[in-house]
Amino acid sequence: MEGCKMMEQLNDGQKREWEKQWEVLSYGVSSIIPEEEFKEKIAKSIKNEQPLKVKLGLDPTAPDVHLGHTVVLNKLKQFQEFGHTVQLIIGDFTGKIGDPTGKSIARTALTDEEVEHNAKTYFEQFGKVIDMEKVELHYNSKWLSKVGFSEVLKLASTVTVARMLERNDFHNRYEANKPIHLHEFFYPVMQGYDSYALDSDIELGGTDQEFNVLFGRQVQEHYGREKQVVLLMPLIEGLDGVEKMSKSKGNYIGVDERPQDIFGKTMSIPDALITKYFELVSPLSIQEVQEVKRKLDEGTLHPRDAKMKLAASFVEMLHGKEAARQSREQFINVFQKKAMPDEIPEVMWEGEEEIHVVDLVKELGLLPSKSEGRRMIKNGGVRIDQEKVTDTNQTVQVTDGVVVQVGKRKFVRLRSSS
C-alpha cells in the first residue's frame, strides 16, 4: 500500500472493501500498468463512491466471440459486480472506412447496417457473461468523425515514427519489407482518442494489445486528463495448447456453439491447460478454482474429471444448468463409446431376428443366466449399440454389426446374413 495516498483516507470498512476489490480485480491479470495508479483509482472510487469507467474496445468486423474473449469478459464481469461501469466501444469509425488500400478483402468498408448488426451480435454473445443492461455502449464515429486535420497533426506529434515501429507487428513487417500503410499508424492513436473522449479510468486488453492500449495514456496526458490504467489479460491457448485461441486457427470454442460441442472440445484440451482455463475462462469463483487446483496437485481429482467440471461450467455459463447436465451425460456416453475396445469378438448370429435382451445375453454366453441378465439390466450394465437397456423385457432387432455390451469389458459384435 506504499505510495497509495488515497488509501490512507479510507476508513476501516472502506479499507476492507478495497482489499476485496483489489484481490479480485488484480487476480489473473498479466500486467497492471501502473499498479500503483490502479490501487489509487480503486481507493478513490470507494472514497468518492464513484464507479470506475472500464473500457473495452471492439472491432466491428469480427463479431465471432469465443472463449478466448471470456478472459476479458470475466474481468469485466468482476468490475460490474463491484458496481463499476463497463464502457464497450464499437470501433465503427475505422470499420466504415475499411481498408483504404483496398488490398484486404476482409476489410471492406462496413455499412451502418452491418456495423449495427455486428454490434448486436457482439452484445448477444457478451450477454452470456456480463450484464449488458448495465453496460455503456459507444460508437467511436460519434467523436472521431468530428476530429479535424489540425487535431490529427497535433495527436500525431505526440509520437515518433521510431516508437511506432517498435510495436511488434509493425517492427516485424518493416524488417521483412512488407508494406505498412501510413494510416495504420493511426489505429493506436484513434484507440487512444476514444479513452480521452470517454474519460476512461481503466482499459482492458490482451497482452498483444499492450502498445495500443497504452497509447490511451499518452493521448489523455496530451489533453491534460488523468491517465487510464491498463490491465493486460493473458492470452489463452486454443484447443491445440500451443497457439492463441482464434477463429482463424480453428482451435477455438465459440460461445454460440452447441452444448455438446462446447463440452467435447473442452474435454480435448491438453491437461497442462486445465488450471489456466479454470482461472481465466471459467465463471467459477477464485475459491472454487483454488480447490480444484489443490485437488489436482494432491492427485485426488483425476484430470479427466477436472475437465468434465470445467466443460460443464462452460456449458452452464453459455447455455444454462440443464444443458450442462445433458451434455455431460451425452459426453459420458460418447466417452464410453470411445472406450470400446478396437477388437470386438464377432459372432455369426443364426438365431431369431427379434429376441429378448436377457435371452440374447445368455445365448451369447456373456452372462451365465437370465436372472443374472435381468439384475445387470437393472444396474444399467447392459448396452445395445451404446444405448443403455433400461427394461428387463426389452427386445432387440438383430441386424448385422450390432454390438452387445455387458459391464465394462464384455463386448460381442453380431454378424448376420439377413
The smaller minimum CB distance to a second copy, of residues 104 and 386, is found at 104
The one-letter amino acid at 74? N
Least spacing, CB of residue 181 vs a second copy, in Å: 5
- Total residues binding a second copy (CB under 8 A): 39
The smaller minimum CB distance to a second copy, of residues 181 and 321, is found at 181
What is the spatial distance between Cα 64 and Cα 61, in angstroms, rounded to a whole number? 9
The smaller minimum CB distance to a second copy, of residues 17 and 99, is found at 99
What is the spatial distance between Cα 418 and Cα 400, in angstroms, rounded to a whole number? 7
Least spacing, CB of residue 210 vs a second copy, in Å: 19
What is the spatial distance between Cα 391 and Cα 394, in angstroms, rounded to a whole number? 5
CA distances (Å), origin 165, targets 172, 194, 236, 333:
9, 22, 26, 54
Least spacing, CB of residue 159 vs a second copy, in Å: 5
Q: Does 221 bind a second copy (CB under 8 A)?
A: no
Candidates 210, 212, 236, 104; CA nearest to 159 is: 212
290: how many CB neighbours lie within 10 A of its CB? 14
The smaller minimum CB distance to a second copy, of residues 94 and 209, is found at 94
What is the spatial distance between Cα 109 and Cα 96, in angstroms, rounded to a whole number? 5
Task: Report 126-145 residues binding a second copy (CB under 8 A).
Answer: 144-145
Burial bucket for residue 74 (CB in 10 Å: 0-12, 13-18, 19+): buried
Burial bucket for residue 318 (CB in 10 Å: 0-12, 13-18, 19+): buried
Contact between 241 and 272 under an 8 Å Cβ cutoff? The reply is yes
From 14-22, 75-83, 175-183, 355-363, give the range in contact with a second copy by CB under 8 A. Answer: 175-183
Least spacing, CB of residue 154 vs a second copy, in Å: 5
The smaller minimum CB distance to a second copy, of residues 82 and 143, is found at 143
Contact pattern for a second copy over residues 144 through 163, marking x by CB under 8 A: xxxxxxxxxxx-xxxxxxx-
Q: Does 180 bind a second copy (CB under 8 A)?
A: yes
Strands 354-356 and 202-206: unpaired
From 53-61, 95-103, 291-299, 370-378, give the range in contact with a second copy by CB under 8 A. Answer: 95-103
276 annotated ligand-binding residue: no
Q: Does 182 bind a second copy (CB under 8 A)?
A: yes
* Per-residue DSSP letter, 369: -
For the four alpha carbons of 345, 350, 351 and 354, in that order, the dihedral sign comes to: positive
The smaller minimum CB distance to a second copy, of residues 24 and 152, is found at 152
Least spacing, CB of residue 145 vs a second copy, in Å: 7
Q: Does 177 bind a second copy (CB under 8 A)?
A: yes
Least spacing, CB of residue 179 vs a second copy, in Å: 4
What is the spatial distance between Cα 213 and Cα 195, in angstroms, rounded to a whole number? 9
Q: Does 176 bind a second copy (CB under 8 A)?
A: no
In our burial notation (b when 16+ CB lie closer than 10 A, e otherwise), range 94-120 reads bbbeebeeeeeeebeebeeebbeebbe
- Return the C-alpha cell found at 45: 472510487
The smaller minimum CB distance to a second copy, of residues 149 and 417, is found at 149
Q: Does 181 bind a second copy (CB under 8 A)?
A: yes
Q: Specify binding-site residues.
A: 247
Q: Specify binding-site residues for ATP.
A: 247
- Contact set with a second copy (CB under 8 A): 93-94, 96-97, 99-101, 144-154, 156-162, 164-165, 170, 174, 177, 179-183, 185-186, 189-190
